[in-house]
Every structure is written in C-alpha cells, then in structure tokens.
Copies of this chain bind each other. A is one copy, B any other.
C-alpha cells in the first residue's frame, strides 16, 4: 500500500472527511490516524454494499469505483495522518 498514492487519490474524500482527515460535518467520521486494516475492511464493506444505514449510500457510491489497490493506498494514507 502506498500512502503517497493514497494522498493523490484522496481529493474527493477530503470533501467530507476534511483535508487533514478530520471530518467537515459531524455525521462523517474522522479518518486521521484510524487503524489501516479497519479502513480497508470498511471501504470493502461499502464497496460490497454490505454497509447500509446512516450515510452509507453516499459511501457506497464513492467506494464502488475503487480498486483494491486504491483502497489499500487510501487506507495507508489516512492511517498515516496524526
């Protein structure tokens, strides 16, 4: 997983999760410093439409277009933020 690549791919994520991974809106989660394996697991659950409820619909749309490599890179990037 490549955190630099992840940063490059995170522009759209920053809209809700904030430029530094601190959410812009309280109903979205902070991602900064989150556990990398958890981020991968969550993104895959959204991609597989296993996660519903709350704002899940928004995230399902975002995750749908992500490859496993994108997911690994994004997870590495956000986990690396303090």
Contact = CB atoms under 8 A, between A and B. Distances in A.
A82 to B, nearest CB: 11
Contacts of A26: 35-38
Interface of A is mostly: loop
Q: How large is the interface on A (under 10, 10 to 19, 20 to 34, 35 or more residues)?
A: 20 to 34
Interface stretch (A3-11, A53-61, A64-72): A53-61
B51 A52 contact: yes
Contacts of A55: 41
A14 interface: no
A23 B52 CA distance: 23
Contacts of A29: 34-35, 38, 42
Interface of A: 23, 26-30, 33-38, 41-42, 44-45, 48, 50-56
